[in-house]
Structure 1
């Protein structure tokens, strides 16, 4: 089961409730079988090893003593002679080529994630709880996680924004501020159902608003007819055409009837307005993010970037990249692919001028902006508005507010300090400041922008980039995200070939 929803809605909290770390404020949780869980961040000590992570360090030490002839008879009786083989098989299954003595601090974030995933499956639990298992993983790591879950015969609850991984789920559960909704099938089936719900919600809103407006018109017409009758009665009374007692009775009856009708109309109108508000709230929750951006004016034949026989890295004797040449022309979209450690981020630093190439020539010919998961171009101590005006000198206050509203930072939301934003808000603010100005950059460089973002935030980023007509250079392990960008050329960096 895939568990999806906005950041902060409670997905990780729900996993903690399931595994008994915190108690629910109401209701009851019943778990049958053994549960094993993987958290987003693998907490480690400076000397912790793979064996410590698996909880088998003492058992491996016993096998070492037994091999050296130092174990007692009682210890030998307790020895697990299959442990080393099972441990190696578990690590191999997740594509990790390390021994049990390897220190976790010496591994990359992606390697630690793989090791932790192997550890949670090692003791054959009945249920896996996985919190963002593919974060920090390269293409091979993501494929290994998918393969492991496809072969898994127990239950699994997977919190993830990885749409490829979610495609393999038997069901998707979406958490929102309204509660939880379950959808059978994987990601595509969930999205298809959500699109139907959006259309139905929009139709319900239109009908509710039409009914409320129609009732308001009818009540107004009734009130106007009543006023005309009352005016006519008053004129007749002045003319002396009706006994005083009958006039008084009719007046009292009109007042009682009018008051009852007014109360009934108010009650009916309040019910219809409430129905419209409920429908409107549902549409706002489901409504996708749409962005409109000013054109960059990048000509199709203009040279944007050229690399000629570039070598890059931090050690001239052991470059991460060797003999790389390519060019970007016009609004081309290029993805740089490769496993962790192949030099992708290093290459981006060389391209934008943060790192000099070891050899070769880099020619960057157009104004460029870089966005990554840290959003270094934004000042965390100031507001989104102030960052926009700093990055777009000459922009008016009205233009600033209009651009930020396009990226859903309206009114007081534009005055939030960048340091208080979530990951998704941070990236959206970066896009607003870079792409929302009167002169967007002609080249946008993205370095793993979707790490730690929820699905709604990723789709917002995709919407913003779909509206951008400049050149795009992106590094990402999220294949679905890359495919959504309309990539025209891929450059693969393979450390094995160097």
Structure 2
């Protein structure tokens, strides 16, 4: 089958003339494609080009068939009903008029007789079989809104689905539903995501970089394996280029030494012999020309070796993930970090969210808090930080803690990195602040960047730099869905950094790959009996 959507030599520049996409050629047909790439590389721009919301500077975008879109930020308008969110209210009203004997000619002409059956099947597919279509849409949770919107796409039966971060903010059950829907989908799909579990349901991965787009056959695991192979090959190429440059340098030095010895011998010969000066001059000229050719050859070899080295370094830099280390916090192994004793909590007028919770973190434990959306995970975090007070029971905080939420709210958009660091660490000098930021890869002028210009991964890294370089680094990190707005490279960097952290971690996350990577030792599932120790 021919492609549903093609991009032919598409280029795009930002409003200030910066080239973002250059000569991009891609085709999307009846396969599931995961679109990945670092934040800021142009994924959102590419989506808007596909949808016709932006025009390319050059090249063409062609669409054959119908494209259904699920956007990342969904917010039902005031007064909207579930049926409106599904996009079926008008069609259902038409069927109701026909059933009541009030149908007009155009109702019969436009009636979708199979709609009700498709609607029931779609709602069951996303786990909302009993949802009232007249329910006000703004009453739905964020996860329910996403699932309803996905059901609407299933009802509409487009040729190609375009999903932008469909599992962000979804709990484990809802994420599994989205993945199941995509595995059963028979049409084409383009899925922008950093969710590794979701990307495992793809047929291919397209990685967008500043150099263009590269396609990898297979799902995320095959893509990750290929990327690891490329990184290893790049490291080998770099080592070989370094050896080649050193060899060229040695050979050039040896050639210079041989020339110096010949020149010295020639001078001794000229001093001893009585040949006419014209003959000695010709001999010297031949030696000079020979030496010049050798020097030129050596320079060319050195330039070629240096070019190969620069290319190898570039390939390795592209294959490397962003890495940074966290400083030691010196947490003793037996210290009580945090304790909940028979804690209960509920908001006034609402049902109890947490009842009889007993939880103790000792030493550098790593505890994950999981559960369905609305089960009280955020409330537990706020109880741990003292932002909320339990209705009964007691919360004991034994060490200094730092909360890093999804929005990194401790950082102000209008301040620079250096300003944020000194505000959060008032005892630090400007030099101290810049040195601390440099350890987290914000070197030189990067320390003067405004917080609002940072990507999600950069914001989290900046927040870690600010809290962990304090005079007394926190011995407990509390993380609320830390991977929600990070790209794959940033997630890998954060996982590696947290893997070497010697303090305690309390984390809320639905990302099972992330929890496994940072070495969670215990899991607390709200709304269910406590899980067994995972260590």
Q: TM-score, normalised by structure 2?
A: 0.86
Matched residue, 2:239? 206
SS of the residue corresponding to residue 275 of structure 2 reads: coil
The match for 1:135 among 168, 179, 185 is: 168
- 2:337 touches 2:360 (CA, 8 Å); kept in 1? yes
The match for 1:455 among 471, 488, 503 is: 488
SS of the residue corresponding to residue 36 of structure 2 reads: strand
Matched residue, 2:95? 63
- 2:322 touches 2:490 (CA, 8 Å); kept in 1? no
Equivalent positions of 1:22-61 (< 5 A) are 22-42=54-74, 44-61=76-93
- 1:302 touches 1:330 (CA, 8 Å); kept in 2? yes
Deviates more, 1:148-157 or 1:55-64: 55-64
- 1:316 touches 1:358 (CA, 8 Å); kept in 2? no
- 1:371 touches 1:446 (CA, 8 Å); kept in 2? yes
Matched residue, 1:82? 114
Alpha-carbon distance between aligned partners in 2 of 1:195 and 1:405, rounded to the nearest angstrom: 27
Deviates more, 1:237-246 or 1:397-406: 397-406
Distance 1:241 1:217, change over 3 A: farther
Q: CA RMSD in A?
A: 2.5
Distance 1:468 1:347, change over 3 A: same
Alpha-carbon distance between aligned partners in 2 of 1:263 and 1:310, rounded to the nearest angstrom: 80
Equivalent positions of 1:270-285 (< 5 A) are 270-285=303-318
Deviates more, 1:349-358 or 1:62-71: 62-71
Unaligned runs of 5+ in 1: none
Looking at both structures, which has the greater relative contact order when contacts are Cα pairs under 8 Å and sequence separation is at least 6?
A: 1
Distance 1:338 1:372, change over 3 A: same
- Post-superposition CA distance 1:47-91 (Å, at most 9, x none): 333333333322122233334443335524543343233223212
SS of the residue corresponding to residue 362 of structure 1 reads: strand
Matched residue, 1:72? 104
- 1:294 touches 1:439 (CA, 8 Å); kept in 2? no
Alpha-carbon distance between aligned partners in 2 of 1:295 and 1:22, rounded to the nearest angstrom: 48
Q: Which runs of 4+ in 1 moved over 6 A?
A: none
- Post-superposition CA distance 1:13-52 (Å, at most 9, x none): 3333334443444455555443222222236432333333
The match for 1:148 among 168, 181, 206 is: 181
The match for 1:464 among 484, 494, 497 is: 497
Query: How big is the shift at 1:361?
Result: 1.3
Matched residue, 2:290? 257
Deviates more, 1:57-66 or 1:214-223: 57-66
Query: How big is the shift at 1:165?
Result: 0.8
Matched residue, 2:193? 160
Equivalent positions of 1:28-427 (< 5 A) are 28-42=60-74, 44-72=76-104, 74-76=106-108, 78-96=110-128, 97-239=130-272, 241-315=274-348, 318-392=351-425, 394=427, 400-427=433-460
- 2:326 touches 2:498 (CA, 8 Å); kept in 1? no
- 2:324 touches 2:441 (CA, 8 Å); kept in 1? no
SS of the residue corresponding to residue 321 of structure 2 reads: coil
Matched residue, 1:17? 49
Alpha-carbon distance between aligned partners in 2 of 1:396 and 1:74, rounded to the nearest angstrom: 75
Alpha-carbon distance between aligned partners in 1 of 2:279 and 2:63, rounded to the nearest angstrom: 77
